[in-house]
Amino acid sequence: MLQLLLLAAAAAGALGQDLPPSCDKPVYCDSELLHHVQIARIFEDSKTFVDLHMLQDPEAILEEFNQLLNETKNPTKEQLREFVQKHFDSEGELEDWTPHDFNENPTFLQGIRDVKLRQFAKDIHNIWPTLGRKIKPHVFEKPERFSLIPMPNGFIIPGGRFKEIYYWDTYWIIEGLLIGGMKETAKGMIENLIDLLRKLGHIPNGSRWYYQERSQPPLLCAMVLLYIRETKDIQFLKANIDALEAELEYWLDSQIVSFEKDNSTHTLLRYYSPSKGPRPESYSEDYNEGLKYKSDDRKQEFYIDLKSAAESGWDFSSRWFVDDAGENSGNLTTIHTKEIIPVDLNSIFANALQNMANFQRLLNRPRRASHWAYLARQWRSNIEAVFWDEEDGIWYDYDMVNGKHRKYFYPSNVSPLWMGAVDKRLVRKHSARVLEYLKKSHGLDFPGGIPTSLIRSGEQWDFPNAWPPLVSVVVNALEALGTREGRKVAFNVAQTWVRACHKGFGENKQMFEKYDAEVPGKFGGGGEYTVQTGFGWTNGCVLEFLAKYGRQMTAEDGSSSTRDDIESEENEYNVDSKESNI
């Protein structure tokens, strides 16, 4: 099969050449120091070490560590701990920051009818200042000593162990900020991402150097669209249109792959992060898993697949598992991310292409607009040809090597609707089939939200975990069907989620990054680290639903709004389109 040959050639080429390290900062990405400290598990969480800052210049630290190696051959854990204590510090690179445009009583609260939910929305909105951070001056003065990449503006962190900007998290954070009237903070967040883009040539997974060689779902254009719609700030668009184009060119240059399906050749994107070695922030976990492979080439392929899955944001999930039969069973040893063409990545990219066409049109650049509009049409056509499964009536990821759809329930299956990556004629044609698929899947039947999958793999992006961005994807996809039934189901999904988060907040006084779909309000588990609190995209997602459905939504059954209220008022609220018209 042609796709097998293409993939084999690509893999051989990648492993046959000298792969780059995870970043250009050897202390954090490609050194004996990193290896010894992480393997010795000086810290319980591998991320802790690579987030420390250096007390001397990196060259001096590496030279002194080489001396230690020469003297000891293999330093003990205690020697390594003493070395780290001498040369590194955990004193933060960040200081607390309260956005100047924060208002304790934003106007959107007035549109929330239920008293309990109105208070809940206010409580969540009031979390933003607790997540506000600004980079300290000494990071700008000696940037070579930090893994944190300096950025010009204050920003909102996700929360917990995540003390930096993350690319795709920022989309839902910006949504929540704009709902609360925090336009300047949202603008600053986007400017930070653009600053990273100008420095690195792409937006990294997060604003740490050790994320340098991988990105995340390319939602920058979608963020800019949210901001422009709210502010009409065309000067901002004009000043940054070159950077937005550079982001799209990066994906077209680095992540594109051609393969055959149904006797036709298609070109789409995949997640692919070919750098050597384990992920620095999860070094010991990756290294120990890699010991299961005897071949160095196979071990390196494994590391690439892990990093590619991390680039997707779904780290980790059965979605990326491909066993010997081509199914999604197994564990991390069966991970083959780079062989899978993801429906959500390509939907996001199709939306970005159309956004770019519309941005250029807005700036009166018809030739550039035509160029990007042509690519957007091509991407939408390929999405329909590659991902749509006529038998099941849904879009699925595509397995290049086995030449077949990945026929499993994941919320990403409806992402073409979420991102407006389906021509309106096809939306009308598919709407009944998509609703039927979702109902038959039973993925919408859980009391605590929509699970990431229906497979209990132990990974955090699988059952029973429900993740806020995926709930948002499904709700907006259902709205995009443009039918009464679609809107009704979207409302029910959103209300179930808000009630679950409200219950969890009442019990824990915290918002979590993920929840348990089986138990309303219970935080999720699994994966490489404990559940994190905060939490940026959870706050944004709940605020999105409360702003959209606040007139109808209730904290519990039996409140003043009834199902009849919902049906009679369904046209009164404004649904924010994810399509690219401005």
Active site residues: 315, 513
Write down the pLDDT at residue 2. 39
Q: What is the pLDDT of residue 567?
A: 43
Q: Using one digit for the tens of pLDDT, what is the confidence trace for 131-146?
A: 999 999 999 999 999 9
Please check the confidence at residue 577 and state whether its pLDDT lies above 70. Answer: no
Asked if 454 and 443 count as a contact pair (C-beta separation under 8 A), the reply is yes
Q: 10 Å Cβ neighbour count for 78?
A: 10
Dihedral sign, CA of 158, 164, 165, 166? Answer: negative
Alpha-carbon separation of residue 430 from 339, 459, 467, 490, 527 (angstroms): 27, 32, 26, 17, 35
| Long-range pairs for 66-71: beta carbons < 8 A, 24 or more residues apart | 66/32, 69/32, 69/36
Three-class secondary structure assignment of 186-205:
HHHHHHHHHHHHHHHCCCCC
Distance of CA 140 to the CA centre of its chain: 27
* Beta-ladder partners of 261: 264
C-alpha 56/C-alpha 61 separation (Å) is 7
What pLDDT was estimated at residue 29? 97
**Mean pLDDT (whole number) for 317-327:** 97
Each residue's pLDDT tens digit, 30-70: 999 999 999 999 999 999 999 999 999 999 999 999 999 99
Residue 571 has pLDDT above 60, yes or no: no
pTM, two decimal places: 0.95
Among residues 577, 241, 227, the alpha carbon closest in space to that of 427 is found at 577
Name which of 178, 179, 141, 147 is nearest 164 in CA terms: 147
Element spanning 475, H or E: helix 468-480
* 143-172 residue pLDDT tens: 999 999 999 999 999 999 999 999 999 999
CA 399 – CA 379 distance, rounded (Å): 18
Quickly state the pLDDT bin for 14 (edges 50, 70, 90). very low
Domains and CATH numbers, the chain: 31-92 (no CATH), 98-272+338-569 (1.50.10.10)
Interior angle at CA 332, CA 329 and CA 333, nearest 5: 85
Q: Residue 17: pLDDT band by 50, 70, 90 thresholds?
A: low
Give the pLDDT confidence score for residue 578 in this predicted structure: 61
**Residues whose CB is less than 8 angstroms from the CB of residue 116 and which lie 6 or more positions away in sequence, other chains included:** 502, 555, 556
Report the pLDDT value the prediction gives residue 579, as an integer from 0 to 100.
Answer: 58
Taking a C-beta distance cutoff of 8 angstroms, is the pair 32, 83 a contact?
no
CB 243 within 8 A of CB 198: yes
pLDDT more than 90, % of the chain:
91
Distance (Å) of CA 53 to CA 33, 61, 70, 165, 403: 14, 12, 24, 17, 47
Asked whether the predicted pLDDT for residue 469 surpasses 70, the reply is yes
Q: Is the pLDDT of residue 23 over 80?
A: yes
Q: What is the DSSP string of 343-405?
A: HHHHHHHHHHHHHHHHHHHHTT-HHHHHHHHHHHHHHHHHHHHHHEETTTTEE--EETTTTEE
pLDDT per residue over 156-212, tens digit each?
999 999 999 999 999 999 999 999 999 999 999 999 999 999 999 999 999 999 999
Please, which pLDDT band fits residue 498 given cuts at 50, 70 and 90?
very high
pLDDT surpassing 90 at residue 514: yes
Amino acid 576 reads D
Residue 22 has pLDDT above 50, yes or no: yes
- Kindly indicate the confidence band of residue 116, based on its pLDDT and cuts at 50, 70 and 90: very high
Q: Does residue 12 register a pLDDT over 70? A: no
Asked if pLDDT for residue 255 goes beyond 80, the answer is: yes
Mean pLDDT computed over 534-550: 98
pLDDT of residue 7: 46
Answer whether residue 568 shows pLDDT above 60: no
pLDDT greater than 90 at residue 3? no
The closest of 258, 272, 534, 538 to 400, measured between CA atoms, is 258
- Indicate the average pLDDT of the chain: 94
d(CA 68, CA 60): 13
Q: Over 80: is that where the pLDDT of 5 sits?
A: no
In angstroms, rounded to a whole number, what is the distance separating the alpha carbons of residues 526 and 549?
A: 32
Q: Does 8 score more than 80 pLDDT?
A: no
